[in-house]
Amino acid sequence: MPDSKPYLHPEAISRITRLEMRARHIVEGFLSGMHRSPYFGQSIEFLQHREYVQGDDPRHVDWKVWAKQERFYIKQYEEETNLRCLFLVDVSKSMQYQSGALSKYDYGCTAAVSLAYLLLKQQDAVACVPFDDRVRAQLPFKSTRQHLMAVIESLKTLKPTDKTGMFKILKKVAETYPRRGMVVLISDLLTDRDSLMKGLRLLRQRGHDVLILHIMDDEELDFPFQGPTRFEGLESDDLLNCNPRALREGYLKALEKFLEDVRIGCAKNVVDYKLIRTSEPLDAVLATFLSNRLGMHHRN
């Protein structure tokens, strides 16, 4: 049995679990059968017919219509099934930066697993795609409890290695998962911000509800370095020998600009965005995040 300890923090989970009832209101179908789903699926209540196209499951062919009209039609029902949530977890090298107890990657994985646990408990379907500049693994949507172990295993075995290729990945996700659902992007977003925005726009156009958990290390946000330091790029060959005190102000400005751009980009594309420090308690962060989302939907 896979070890679930690395990413399942009991405190975080228990705190989120207490929010379970509230979470039901956050996203549609947070619990299966709560709302009429906008998606098509297998259910009791008939919705419409659609002409058969190759590839459709022959089990859904309405033989009664074929008998009358000699045409193949597919019966479509209103789906009452669960939320489909896809976790996109950044496994690029920059995610391995760590100054505190957890690296960004560990923190991100923990957040993904915690949310997955919550969703699976609500009978929602969860899929997980770790990526860097390519898809490193692809776990299908499943709503079984055992699927959580598969998610954990896949995240645990991966080591951050390469650069982040954000647009390429998001485009591929949009194509691979055409069915609308929730996409949770967990990354430090240290990539080309235009390609990031382009990818997010694409996902939104496909009807996905996109959440971004932007994981940043404390040192990346505060830049507390002193004394002569040699900075070596994690995802590049860049080197910089400098006195970090002298560059701090400029660094923080550039970072602020980046974060501002990301916030604005997310707001424009109606993407839910949350910047998280790795030093922050995950349960508190998720609770706040979910509370905020709840408040936002109430306002809507």
Partner 1 sequence: MLEFLNPALFPFLWLAAIPIAIHLLNLTRRRRVQWAAMEFLLESQRKNRAFVWLRQLLLLLLRMAAIAILVLIFARMVFLNDLTLLQGNQTHHMVILDDSFSMSAQDSRSETPFLRAQQAIVRLGQRAADEGGNHRFTLLRTSQTQPDFLEKLVQVNFAQELQQRLEEISVSSLSSGPESALEQALEWLPTQKQDQKILYLVSDFRSKDWEDTQRITALLREFEQEKTKLVLIQCEGAPPANLSLSSLRSVSRTLVADVPLFLEVAVTNFSQDPQTDVELLIYEDNTLRPGSRIDLIPPGETRTKRFQVRIPTAGNHTVRVELPNDSISLDNARETVLQLPLAIKTLLIDSSPDGRNARYVQSALDPGGNTKTGNTTQIELPGFLNSNDLSEFQVIYLTNVGQLDPPAIEQLEDFVKAGGGLGIFLDGQSKAEFINTQLYRNGEGFFPAPLSEPSKTLMDQLQERFPFGITPVLQRRWEELMLAQDENLPDVQRSVHPIFESFAEERNSLLDLVRIDHLWRLDPEWEAGVNNRTTVAAEGRIPEITVFDPNAENPIQWTSRYVPLVLDRPFGDGRVVSVMSSASTVWNNWARNPSYVLMLLEMQSYLAAPTEGTITRQVGQPLVVEWDAAEFFPELDIERFQEGALENSVELAGEAANDEGDRLGVRYDSTFDPGIYSVALRPIDGSERSLKTFAYNVNPTEGNLQTVSSTQLATIMEGITYTFTRAGAFRGSDADGGDIKLYDLLLYWLVILLLLEQTFAYFQSYHPPATAGVEGVS
> 232: which residues sit within 8 A by CB, 6+ positions away?
238, 239
Q: Measure the CA–CA gap between 219 and 151, rounded to whole angstroms.
A: 29
Q: Residue 227, Cβ neighbours under 10 Å: how many? A: 7
In the complex, least distance from residue 192 CB atom to partner 1, rounded to whole angstroms: 10
Identity at 220, one-letter amino acid code: E
Q: Which is nearer to partner 1, 20 or 222 (CB)?
A: 222
Contact by Cβ (8 Å): 199, 167? yes
In the complex, least distance from residue 125 CB atom to partner 1, rounded to whole angstroms: 33
Q: Which is nearer to partner 1, 8 or 255 (CB)?
A: 255
100 binds partner 1 (CB under 8 A): no
What distances in angstroms separate CA 199 from CA 103, 210, 234, one per listed residue?
A: 25, 11, 23
Q: Which is nearer to partner 1, 25 or 193 (CB)?
A: 193
Half-sphere exposure of 110 (CA within 13 A, CB side): 26
64 binds partner 1 (CB under 8 A): no
Q: Measure the CA–CA gap between 27 and 174, rounded to whole angstroms.
A: 20
254 binds partner 1 (CB under 8 A): yes
The residues in 5-44 that bind partner 1, with binding defined as CB under 8 A, are none
Q: Measure the CA–CA gap between 125 and 181, rounded to whole angstroms.
A: 10
Per-residue binder mask for partner 1 (CB under 8 A), 199-238, x = binder: -----------------xx--xxxxxxxxxxxxxxxxx-x
Per-residue binder mask for partner 1 (CB under 8 A), 179-198, x = binder: ---------x-x--------
Return the range that interacts with partner 1 (CB under 8 A); candidates 58-66, 67-75, 195-203, 253-261. 253-261
DSSP designation for 55: T
Per-residue binder mask for partner 1 (CB under 8 A), 140-169, x = binder: ------------------------------
Contact by Cβ (8 Å): 33, 40? no
292 binds partner 1 (CB under 8 A): no
67 binds partner 1 (CB under 8 A): no
> CA 292 from chain center: how many Å?
17
For partner 1, which residue of 157, 178, 249, 270 counts as binding (CB under 8 A)? 249
Count of residues interacting with partner 1 (CB under 8 A): 49
Return the range that interacts with partner 1 (CB under 8 A); candidates 38-46, 94-102, 109-117, 264-272. 94-102
Helix (H, G, I), strand (E, B), or coil: what is residue 74?
strand
Q: Measure the CA–CA gap between 15 and 285, rounded to whole angstroms.
A: 10
For partner 1, which residue of 198, 275, 291, 294 counts as binding (CB under 8 A)? 275
Q: DSSP secondary structure string, 44-63?
A: EEEEEEEE--TTS-GGGB-H
In the complex, least distance from residue 213 CB atom to partner 1, rounded to whole angstroms: 13
Q: Which residues bind partner 1 (CB under 8 A)?
A: 93-95, 97, 104, 188, 190, 216-217, 220-236, 238, 240-256, 258-259, 275, 277, 280
